[in-house]
Amino acid sequence: MIAIIDYGAGNIKSLQFAFDKIGLETCVTSDKKTIEASDAIVLPGVGAFNDAMRALESHDLLSVLKQEASSGKPLLGICLGMQLLYDQSFEDGEWNGLGLLQGKVQRISSSVKVPHMGWNTLTNHQETPIINQIENDSYVYFVHSYYVAELGTSTLVSSCNYGGQVPAIVQQDNVVGMQFHPEKSGQAGIQLLKNFGEMIT
């Protein structure tokens, strides 16, 4: 069972539907015991970084997310959820994230229209099971104004080009991030969710 974290910051219904479509059982929860008992965790998110971190803190979820990630449980952060995995964000101030991955979240270059909204293509940088059957130039759907910068190159799986290189899929061991919305990204997105499901042992 995959625990989709409910902290009031995500379009969870469409994500649940996508997992249902590929036969992966989910539950939407903010209960620590349920999260601990799950086989994998998905951290969704839309909105502002600091608001999301405060919401996680108010639900007393920061420690359980860190604990479960450090135990080796598969964890997928989607959109803002991916950004929350990192050390720090400079969105409307300077805020600390979960610190599960090294990097900083910054605003997309003003040389392009912000927010970055719509379909863009992936460039794959390494072969890893999370992108099985995902070809270079696969289209996925983005909605965001901030992106991860200064990340470790060994964690960069795929990127897109939008005012520069934007990390699109990252992975460090059991922790995976997708800056786009796989649940809104057609067959490529469904395949990526399947691949995440394959990480569950």
Q: Is the pLDDT of residue 1 over 90?
A: yes
Return the pLDDT at 46: 86
- The active-site residue out of 68, 125, 160, 183 is 183
- Give the span between the Cα atoms of 46 and 154, in whole angstroms: 26
In this predicted model, what pLDDT tens digit does every residue of 6-65 receive, in sequence order? 998 776 999 999 999 999 999 999 999 999 999 999 999 888 999 999 999 999 999 999
Delimit the domains of the chain by residue range: 2-197
- The active-site residue out of 59, 68, 79, 198 is 79
Active site residue 27: no
In this predicted model, what pLDDT tens digit does every residue of 129-144 receive, in sequence order? 999 999 999 999 999 9
Q: CA nearest 167: which of 86, 64, 112?
A: 86
Active site residue 183: yes
Structure-token pair, residue 119: 């379909």
CA atoms within 13 A on the CB side of 65: 32
Query: Is the CATH number of domain 2-197 3.40.50.880?
Result: yes
Q: CA nearest 68: which of 103, 96, 47, 40?
A: 40
Return the pLDDT at 201: 79
Return the pLDDT at 14: 92
Beta pairing class for 101-107 and 146-149? antiparallel
Q: For the whole model, what pTM was predicted? A: 0.97
